[in-house]
Amino acid sequence: MKLAKLPDRTPVKINVVLAPGLAKRLGEYAEFYAETYRGREEVADLIPFMLDAFIEADPEFRKRRKLGRREPKASSS
């Protein structure tokens, strides 16, 4: 079969505590998004895409992944 097995697509939920200033800026970003695309989205719906864009734009991380080092090293605590 030419198509590889599909990856796990089960969403993972995490809770994050934000500083008030960051929460305010995220709200402002959601407003900017709404003005730009004429459609309102909740901050919580934008965050996964923002994080993905941030990670994909990191050249050092892309380089590391290209070299095959995808899993973080286990901590020895």
Listed in order, strand segments (DSSP E) in the chain are: none
Torsion, CA 26, CA 55, CA 9, CA 34, rounded to 10? 30
State the pTM of this model: 0.72
Average pLDDT over residues 48-59: 94
Residue 28 lies in a domain: yes
Q: Which two tokens stand for residue 15?
A: 């809770």
Q: Which of 39, 36, 41, 48 is nearest to 9 (CA)?
A: 48
Q: Look at the chain and report how many structural domains it folds into.
A: 1
Range(s) of the domain holding residue 27: 20-66
CA distance 28 to 22: 10
Backbone angles phi, psi at 5, to 5 degrees: -60, 135
In a domain, 1, yes or no: no
The residue among 70 and 23 whose pLDDT is bigger is: 23
Q: Is the pLDDT of residue 69 over 60?
A: yes
